A and B are shown apart, each in its own frame.
Chain A
């Protein structure tokens, strides 16, 4: 039995279904991200775990106990809100102490725990400040400390970094991960930023329109996406229409040339077959033993560390990302361009 278990969770509102048959088993200490575009149901599911929404059907269990109908103030899960939701009339210390106060803990214990939390987030000097007197990033850390102070069984974070600058975001997500690992607390992290999810999670749940598209580790999600949505949402994807030669062997034809793929499709589900390959897997030039194709350069975009070239291949536009090197000869628009990729790098959709 996993530490956090969500079974067949459904959530329907008057006019729509927000979450369909959500299942998840999370081990203790795992860091799991819910990743998906706006409206995919990730926040709704999080709020159901917290108790602010009631699932239409399904069960939520933590550490073996069924929490589905337990009111939110009795669940002992800690939540960090997107807008931080710090109480403006209390100091930083007051905010952090709130949960312990509600639990009726004795004053010395509260004081000690608050100090513990303050040193965890490196904000000992700010204990007497008010939320309006500290920056966004600092407020975020206080919100985290406040949620952790009650020693929750599960930590829930609802897009906690979306309101912050890019640079602080990167710093803080590492910070959150570090603290999480230090405390060994099971964590659910909701985000629409794939880089965030990929960089700090143990596993990722990719959601779209209320449905779970895939659950897996970062590399599984990125390199072996199970659905077209996941492949498109996480990272960039090239889709090339192809003519089928032999489906079970994964052989297709692009403009007369044979292309070998690694994942054969056992059936054609009604629509045209396409070849899927990521831009960074395409290499300039000819390579023996790999798939080699020809295209015409359409645009060249210089992005700094990466040079992005768009190619016209048999009428379809393909993107190839090349590492920028000083000795690189940047392709010219209109040129003919040969590129290659390994059969293992592509698959059929």
Chain B
């Protein structure tokens, strides 16, 4: 009797096996994953699969081959690549210098504030309003076109010459050049926004340490600042490239779809305008996703590298 009373029973240890517990933890995020699966993964998979099918649903590489051989497709990729590269380099350089002016260049505070807020604005101000703004500025009767046309000088013979008529000189807003200019309007602020944090991450002490050890300004940039910054610069440029490559609205609104970009081509395909083989559209879309995926992957890798140095 006494023994049973004294016998202390240790409580049963509830064995929560890890897998059960962790499974329960995933319940909460299930709605999200389901949503993504149905509305993002599924359509993409559909495109992926469709790219390798023919009209009757059989597996084929034919679409991909057309992609690589059809001259209009090749041209579209060429033009898209061209505008993306040009705007990412030009926008990148210009954006870098403006970001430099904002963060380190000791420009007056009011200029810095304006530039930062407008960068935020302009980077979001894409597509249709942008196209209209450029038409209003550089179109045939646009503000700048007219303004330049009215700058006239007197000839020695007494007549007036107005040498700044840009349309006479061959400029056309509704061309690749015009589109490039329009793209730059959201490219360079995008660069400013993404590179300014990196520039601000350059510690003042690094510059001072370099000076203290005898380095001149250019030596600091060459040996310290640029090596630290190049992952960010490259990363941001890639972001710019991807942004231009995937852009549709600006091109459509500005040129009405006349310029043969890959995005425009896909748009035509959806409307059933151009290509006779609907699956070719899938291949086009797939090609586009591949390009963008490569960009974003490289960007992510570069971001990690940046984070390591600029947080130290």
Contact = CB atoms under 8 A, between A and B. Distances in A.
A163 interface: no
Contacts, number: 76
A102 to B, nearest CB: 4
A117 B228 CA distance: 25
Contacts of B215: 73, 98-99, 102
Given A52-B208, A88-B228, A102 B203 contact: no
Given A72-B208, A83-B205, A102-B219, A89 B213 contact: no
Contacts of A103: 214
A88 B309 contact: yes
Interface in B213-253: 213-216, 219, 223-224, 227-228
B211 interface: yes
Contacts of B209: 79, 81, 85-87, 146
Given A50-B212, A73-B216, A79-B208, A85 B203 contact: yes
A160 interface: no
Interface in A166-204: none
A201 to B, nearest CB: 22
A90 B225 CA distance: 11
Interface in A22-68: 50-52
Contacts of A50: 208, 212
Q: Is the interface of B mostly helix, strand, loop or mixed?
A: helix
A78 interface: yes
A50 B212 CA distance: 7
Interface residues of A, number: 29
Interface residues of B, number: 20
A35 to B, nearest CB: 22
Contacts of A87: 206, 209-210, 223-224, 228
A132 B312 contact: yes
A180 to B, nearest CB: 18
B106 interface: no
Contacts of A81: 205, 208-209
A150 interface: yes
A160 to B, nearest CB: 12
A255 interface: no
Contacts of A74: 214
Interface of B: 203, 205-206, 208-216, 219, 223-224, 227-228, 308-309, 312
Closest 7 CB pairs of A and B: A99-B213, A85-B205, A102-B214, A88-B309, A89-B227, A73-B211, A85-B209
Given A102-B216, A102-B219, 5 more contacts: A98-B223, A131-B312, A132-B309, A146-B209, A150-B214
17 contacts: A50-B212, A51-B212, A71-B211, A72-B211, A73-B210, A78-B212, A81-B209, A85-B209, A87-B223, A89-B224, A89-B309, A98-B223, A101-B223, A102-B216, A132-B308, A147-B212, A150-B213
